[in-house]
């Protein structure tokens, strides 16, 4: 039994990355099961009532006009095929003129995919495969570069606010206030939680403004407009509500331009917000793994190797020392791979995570600090493998590629 516990403990320490992956997969499955249960409880009764109303309407129509149910079903199937081709009872804009095709390719490369327009020819379907492969990859790169620049801007603004507060409080040494703005603040790191809050508020403002436009122009309820904004900006793209589909609008050119800009800004903000939230989720996973490791090591009476792992930052003196003891001279790129791995830390306690918005999430905060201080975002150490730079998901991926290629 002790050998089994020891093997379990050793496996948990060695395969921590795999453990995080498996734990996340299990939590996502549980999340899906809970979501399915909630939506089934909410939407299933409405679906049953709709089926009942439809069956009564079909039966009444068949009796009133003396049409057999088989002929009526055949007519309805033809109508469904017409709807799939873009034909509606109400007048809609052409689907495949240049402006309609431009709207379609925009939904393709942004991965929104409303589904109200789809190619029906073999040539169109084959072209879509290759067109979407390159277009989606380029658009994801664009979103990552947008994330990098918006976080750089936020870091600079947050640093300027910090400097102003220090000047107003008289904490800056006399005579260096003007030059201090160009150097690093000792121990200062921009809070990832502030970045998440700013991105969330930005996405909310864009959604509210866009909904205020959609409600009178499209004739939707304001709540439906907010729902459409989230579904579109998050690139879910159900297609039950789609903007700019009527044949004509008042101030049509202006509306379609505003619609394009709102969707572009909304998708970029929501994508950036998702990346920042994913970092917080990773901290929760690390906290859960730490607790599991502690329980396992208590059973086999062994020290918790997870807490001593070099790329795991945990609350305590080491985190506080890294935040307040580092000087401006040490704020450049990492001196060593060990230091870089320590600063890319992935562990904070749930207590600090929930209690304070100033908890250090080291990897992204270091990138934020470098952005605000004007340092180049490079992978720790002098690697000549081409993988460097980036913030958020792009930076994490580049760091990982640099580490793996450097070890080969």
pLDDT of residue 283: 85
Q: Which of the two residues, 292 and 183, has the higher pLDDT score?
A: 292
CA dihedral 50, 56, 60, 62 (to 10 degrees): 90
pLDDT for the residue numbered 294: 82
Which of 179-193, 231-245, 372-386 reaches the highest mean pLDDT?
231-245
Q: What is the pLDDT of residue 337?
A: 40
CA distance 293 to 282: 16
Residue 371 above 70 pLDDT? no
pLDDT on residue 33: 95
Per-residue pLDDT for 176 more than 50? yes
pLDDT tier, 130 (very low <50, low <70, confident <90, very high otherwise) = very high
Give mean pLDDT, residues 216-242: 93
pLDDT on residue 304: 58
Q: What is the pLDDT of residue 395?
A: 59
What pLDDT, in 10s, does the model give residues 131-150?
A: 999 999 999 999 888 888 88
Task: Report the share of the chain in percent with pLDDT over 70.
Answer: 64
* pLDDT for the residue 69: 87
Percent of the chain with pLDDT over 90: 31
190 sits in the region (left: phi over 0; alpha: psi -120 to 50; else beta) called beta
| DSSP string over 263-287 | HHHHHHHHHHHHHHHHHHHHHHHHH
Which 8-state DSSP code applies to residue 243?
S
Q: What is the pLDDT of residue 383?
A: 43
pTM higher than 0.85 for the full model?
Answer: no
pLDDT for 149:
87
Predicted confidence at residue 279, as pLDDT, reads: 86
Task: Give the bridge partners for 246, in sequence order.
Answer: 92
pLDDT at position 230 over 90:
yes
Mean pLDDT in the chain? 74
Determine the pLDDT at residue 293.
Answer: 81
> Could you give the maximum distance between any two Cα atoms of the chain, in Å?
95
Best-predicted range by mean pLDDT (119-123, 124-128, 328-332) = 124-128
Q: What digits encode the pLDDT tens for the residues 22-42?
A: 899 999 999 999 999 999 999
Of residues 174 and 380, more confidently modeled: 174
Per-residue pLDDT at 344 exceeds 80: no
Mean pLDDT of 346-368: 47
pLDDT at 57 (0 to 100): 92
Residue 197 has pLDDT above 80, yes or no: yes
Task: Compute the average pLDDT of residues 383-388.
Answer: 44
Are 211 and 225 in contact, with CB atoms under 8 Å apart?
A: yes
DSSP 79-103: HHHHHHTT--SS-B--SSSHHHHHH
Q: What is the mean pLDDT of residues 355-372?
A: 52
Q: Is the pLDDT of residue 382 over 80?
A: no
CB-based burial of residue 187 (10 Å sphere; 0-12 exposed, 13-18 middle, 19+ buried)?
middle
- Weakest mean pLDDT among 251-255, 366-370, 384-388: 384-388
């Amino acid at each position: 039994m002790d050998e089994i516990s020891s093997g379990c403990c050793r496996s948990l320490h060695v395969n921590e990355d795999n453990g995080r992956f498996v734990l996340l997969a299990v939590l996502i499955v549980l999340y899906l099961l809970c979501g399915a249960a909630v939506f089934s409880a909410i939407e299933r009764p409405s679906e049953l009532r709709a089926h009942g109303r439809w069956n009564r309407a079909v039966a009444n129509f068949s009796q009133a006009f003396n049409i057999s149910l088989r002929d009526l079903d055949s007519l309805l199937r033809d109508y469904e095929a017409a709807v799939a081709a873009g034909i509606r009872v109400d007048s809609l804009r052409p689907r495949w003129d240049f402006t309609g095709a431009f709207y379609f390719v925009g939904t393709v490369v942004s991965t929104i995919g409303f589904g109200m327009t789809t190619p029906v020819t073999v040539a169109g379907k084959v072209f879509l495969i290759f067109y979407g492969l390159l277009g989606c990859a380029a658009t994801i790169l664009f979103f990552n570069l947008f994330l990098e620049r918006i976080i750089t801007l936020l870091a600079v603004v947050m640093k300027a606010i910090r400097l102003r507060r220090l000047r107003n409080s008289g904490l800056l040494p006399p005579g260096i206030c003007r030059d201090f703005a160009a150097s690093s603040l000792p121990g200062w790191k921009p809070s990832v939680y502030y970045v998440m809050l700013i991105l969330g508020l930005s996405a909310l403002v864009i959604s509210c403004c866009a909904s205020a436009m959609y409600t009178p122009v499209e004739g939707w309820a304001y709540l439906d407009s907010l729902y459409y904004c989230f579904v579109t900006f998050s690139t879910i793209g159900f297609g039950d509500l789609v903007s700019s589909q009527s044949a004509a609008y008042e101030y049509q050119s202006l509306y379609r331009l505003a619609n394009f800009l709102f969707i572009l800004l909304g998708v970029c903000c929501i994508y950036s917000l998702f990346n920042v939230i994913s970092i917080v989720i990773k901290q929760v996973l690390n906290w859960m793994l730490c607790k599991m490791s502690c329980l396992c090591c208590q059973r086999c009476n062994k020290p918790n190797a997870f807490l001593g792992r070099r790329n795991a930052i945990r609350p305590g003196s080491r985190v506080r020392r890294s935040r307040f003891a580092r000087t401006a001279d040490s704020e450049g790129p990492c001196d060593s791979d060990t230091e870089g791995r320590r600063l890319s830390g992935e562990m904070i306690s749930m207590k600090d995570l929930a209690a304070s918005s100033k908890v250090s999430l080291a990897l992204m905060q270091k990138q934020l600090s470098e952005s605000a201080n004007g340092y180049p975002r490079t992978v720790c150490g002098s690697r000549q493998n081409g993988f460097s730079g980036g913030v958020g998901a792009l930076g994490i991926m580049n760091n990982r590629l640099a580490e793996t290629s450097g070890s080969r």
